[in-house]
Amino acid sequence: MKLVITARDFSTGDPRPLSLLEGSGLAIEDHSTEGFSTSTSVETMYDVLKDADLAISGLEPYPRALIERLPNLKLISRRSIGYDSVDLDACRDHGVTVCRALGAIEGACAELVMAYVLYFARRVHEQNAQMQQGVWQRNYTSGTSGKTLGLVGFGGIGKEVALRAVPFGMRVLYYCRHPRPEWEEQYRVHYAPLDQLLAESDYVSANMPLTDETRRMFNAERFAQMKPGSVFINTARGPVMDAKALRAALESGHLAGAGVDAYDSEPCTDSPLAGCPNAVLTPHTASFTNEAFTRLNEVAAQNLLDFLAGHLSEKNRLV
């Protein structure tokens, strides 16, 4: 059987994930250094996958138009927890199993959310700039104690954010489609309808998957509902927000800041938020710690081997 790897940098870091696969008897074709991304064309994907039985993928697209042209494909093992770029219905129709790497990166993503919170809460960057210029000026900052963090989406990443925010003295609200009463005690959080969460939160973090319901969920109307002087954080997917509307909310002064790690099309070098002084932009690196990246690759590889052995975890299986 032929395995094609398109997940970026799968084979250039820790060698353990690739070594898991090399003893499997699979014919491995490695394209992980070729820069595949969400913007990769269907034709490019087809060229490398046309004879594949198995694939380890990153964020690159698998639309129906591609799935229908890959009669040999039996498994897409996602080196991610997101799945918005895969047409799951097409995979069901054509008997393609899809799985993802739950449990590998949620903590790392939560760290970046908290990094954004602390960036705006303590303004260390501004104080450092003054000190580097020989200016001794002590300013009060807002801190985190007593501030409210609103989590829109309360899956694995949202829960990990809550576990980090509560010890900083933050009140944590969450909104999701299926709230559970036991989470209140387990994570020391409180459920709130979305309108209430937006109105009361000093920081709003988007942690939901990209679906038809969440696409452009954060638009001009939603930003207007947010508490004046609050901060918006998006480490989910670019299309859950309207970047131009976010910039307008920042420039008007209604929002005090934004931390953004995901964009409509990636790589992105022309974000509408570029040059906005109260927007902090990172190049979709929420999961990019050495440990998390290795773990992602390991889980993606192990999922593939488990599939071949007939005992793929239902937790990781999407289709």
Residue in 8, 247, 284, 295 annotated catalytic = 284
Instruction: Kindly state the greatest CA–CA separation across the chain.
Output: 67
Residue in 31, 237, 247, 295 annotated catalytic = 237
What is the distance between the alpha carbons of residues 103 and 109, in angstroms, rounded to a whole number?
Answer: 11
The answer to whether 266 is a known catalytic residue is: yes
The answer to whether 251 is a known catalytic residue is: no
What is the distance between the alpha carbons of residues 248 and 244, in angstroms, rounded to a whole number?
Answer: 6
What is the distance between the alpha carbons of residues 251 and 278, in angstroms, rounded to a whole number?
Answer: 9
The answer to whether 216 is a known catalytic residue is: no
The SS3 call for residue 34 is: coil
Q: Provide DSSP, 162-218.
A: HHHHGGGT-EEEEE-SS--THHHHHHT-EE--HHHHHHH-SEEEE-PPP-TTTTT-B
CB 160 within 8 A of CB 112: no
What is the distance between the alpha carbons of residues 144 and 93, in angstroms, rounded to a whole number?
Answer: 49
Token pair of 60 as six digits: 């690159």
CB 239 within 8 A of CB 210: yes
The SS3 call for residue 241 is: strand
CB 78 within 8 A of CB 54: no
Token pair of 204 as six digits: 């709003």
Q: Residue 270's Cα: distance from chain center in Å?
A: 20
Q: Tokens 């009361």 — which residue?
A: 200
Residue in 69, 190, 266, 317 annotated catalytic = 266
Residues forming the active site: 237, 266, 284
